[in-house]
Chain A
């Protein structure tokens, strides 16, 4: 049982990092970005393509892919910041359904749907706990999740840019009036989370099934994880991701309830939302 649970940690780490990105986006630019994982997927496919077709060395291609992921995310952010700067979260988030659809189909067109020859950046076991091998990727994912969360927290609370970002998210009009550049900062947040999700996917894609849909749909468990922190708290997002991964690994070991595992993210989402929103009755404060 413990084995099963630990085996879900790698997936949990991925959920956690994307959940952190989602939380940052939700807090700072008022968006639940449905294309978060899809931009990462696209960036990592570009990296693979550059290795296999353009003959670039892996490190160069990986960096290029990560930049493409950041650029794509930045473009979506720019579109939203330009035309929907005043719109509510729901409208802004709905827009990202379009890129999700588009990026999946575009990756079919550009890269085909044959398996991509991903070259592992990290491979092999790191250490063993009670018979279950903890892979290097697992360790990297869990650490990266924590690092990203901590760094974001520090940047937000200790630096000028962080203060400006918080000001923008809490008092957008006032912040703009005192001269904080809203649009460049917003687009930067998009680009940075795009870069982070591409890094994650470039690392995990070689160690798991990596077709376009599977990678893009990582958004569902990640959103479930982010919901534990109500799209506000980074620490809870990390915990949510890890816990969800562990539960999924655990349930997969029990044949009788195996189909429940598909519904785990969904049940997680519903349960958490009902708990989070138990008091918020109305759509507007007054």
Chain B
């Protein structure tokens, strides 16, 4: 498909063209601006790089980090230290090393983040910032006692040239962040911000996502700190005070710094507000008051400048294109597809699976087998333990007893991430699809393998989903769950557990979804366990059925036998939703 290829080439080219344009503008500014503004511009660049980092950890990954300038201090420390010992390589190499060192510190500070989230992490990072600040004031940066100036690189010695160097560094950081944000890491950050369970269920390691976010963010912080050291010539603790870290955080939240242009805008604001105050003769302390007020405004309204502008843009696009929903009811039976045959051997074997919560036995000695290429319906009244069974099978309840074997391999001690990677996948009853991604981004992230645009389009078409370029935020909840199913099917797992995938769809759509699900084993090679309330859907889809009641298997076997079982009928007396 030449057109798809052309658009792909364009997609990769455009950011480089934008960056090249940015560098040209930067060069023009470095030549044309008055000297003082060049120096201010360098400060704006430094702030923009730090905010770019914050955008990743707070904007994309949704964690509160209040110690960005402490990471900057690490970068500055390394640059100053290497400068004092006159390490080979010069400033650029030191800058990179400073960034890497800050990245390592970021990982160390981020280690608690593996377990911690939300506000606890904010407490950790504020504590770290406060402690590091006092320590830095006391132990001093290398070379500050002797007043050893940091040597700027050859050709970038003057303020103007150094500004241009800053532009180059910012451009490099920007383009790297652009591709990281659009790649696996970026998707994993956005996924982990929305739901850790959802992230793990796609086979993405949650600690991995958090640590990469922290590491990249801290690395950018370190680079900005190194640049400050080069800009000022000496590194000082007062450049990196916790108060400034707080202000930078507020600024990142308010500008929407997960977007690169907004991070640069944030850097400019960081400089413009104090400069305006100066021109108007207002004391500089008002600057942080302004940031404080704007931050409260942004945080309470849950909006930021970047998304605000983009939403306006998208709203217009949406008016043209209409709202995105599914088109399940169109007929797809005509679409030709590769057909597979199956041996009928059991692919998933569960023996004596039990789960207890305190004194409550949620699952009692559940045993069953899933034949390869089949669709097993799992039904039962509310509270029967259906979702608990899904959680236990996919590793979200590590305390379960009994054994789970996938394709002959025991899964019992493995994490949800590992199980997902081995080919045991699930979807959720709740919406676990990160709305900050596009359908394309989410499908590629969840599938964990190289996909052609054609493959994606075909699968989306098959499940009646909107086109790949649609943003998930503008897709209704029922359809999002279909996207989740499509993405997980595209991952080609051996077994896929669907936890009420039809909730949020109309009754006709239920039946249509059922028709498609019956084709999944043959089309995609995936066996399915379907949890459903809607007996019509189960009847139309499942070869065999298992009934759970009070955590035990009440009946299991071919559809007709189970539904005719008197015990099943008795258990369902009064279950209105089934009648």
Contact = CB atoms under 8 A, between A and B. Distances in A.
Asked if A and B form a direct contact in the complex, defined as CB atoms under 8 angstroms apart, the reply is yes
B120 A277 contact: yes
B383 to A, nearest CB: 13
Contacts of A109: 283, 285-286, 289
B112 A274 contact: yes
A61 to B, nearest CB: 24
Interface residues of B, number: 51
A188 interface: no
A90 interface: yes
Contacts, number: 152
A99 B292 contact: yes
A22 to B, nearest CB: 10
Interface string A263-286: 111100110011001101111101
A98 B119 contact: no
A259 B127 contact: no
Interface string B396-434: 100000000000000000000000000000000010000
A269 B127 contact: yes
Nearest to B247: A101
B138 interface: yes
Contact of A262 (B119, B120, B134): B134
Interface string B211-232: 0000000000000000000000
A227 B112 CA distance: 14
A68 interface: no
A251 interface: no
Interface string B265-301: 0000000000000000001011111011101100111
B292 A265 contact: no
Interface stretch (A133-141, A195-203, A217-225): A217-225
A217 B196 CA distance: 32
Range, interface on chain A? 35 or more
A207 B515 CA distance: 77
A265 B286 contact: no
A255 interface: no
Contacts of A60: none
B242 interface: yes
A32 B123 contact: yes
Contacts of A213: 243
Interface string B111-148: 01001111110111011101110110011000000000
Given A101-B246, A263-B135, A220 B286 contact: no
Contacts of A106: 285, 289
B135 to A, nearest CB: 5
A210 to B, nearest CB: 17
Contact of A105 (B122, B134, B253, B288): B288
B198 to A, nearest CB: 9
B296 A98 contact: yes
A94 B122 CA distance: 8
Contacts of B118: 88-90, 93
Nearest to A84: B300
A282 B289 contact: no
Given A213-B243, A277-B120, A283 B195 contact: yes
A34 interface: yes
Given A105-B287, A105-B289, A286 B116 contact: no
Contacts of A282: 196-197, 396
B288 A262 contact: no
Contacts of A108: 285
A152 to B, nearest CB: 21
A143 interface: no
A94 B302 CA distance: 11
B292 A283 contact: no
B249 interface: yes
Nearest to A95: B299
A266 B128 contact: yes
A286 B390 CA distance: 11
Interface of A: 32, 34, 79-80, 83-84, 87-91, 93-95, 97-106, 108-109, 213, 217, 219-220, 223-224, 227, 259, 262-266, 269-270, 273-274, 277-278, 280-284, 286
30 contacts: A32-B119, A84-B300, A89-B118, A89-B119, A90-B64, A90-B117, A90-B118, A97-B66, A97-B299, A98-B295, A99-B292, A100-B292, A101-B246, A101-B250, A101-B292, A104-B288, A106-B285, A213-B243, A217-B130, A224-B127, A262-B132, A262-B135, A262-B138, A264-B131, A266-B128, A273-B123, A280-B115, A284-B197, A284-B430, A286-B387
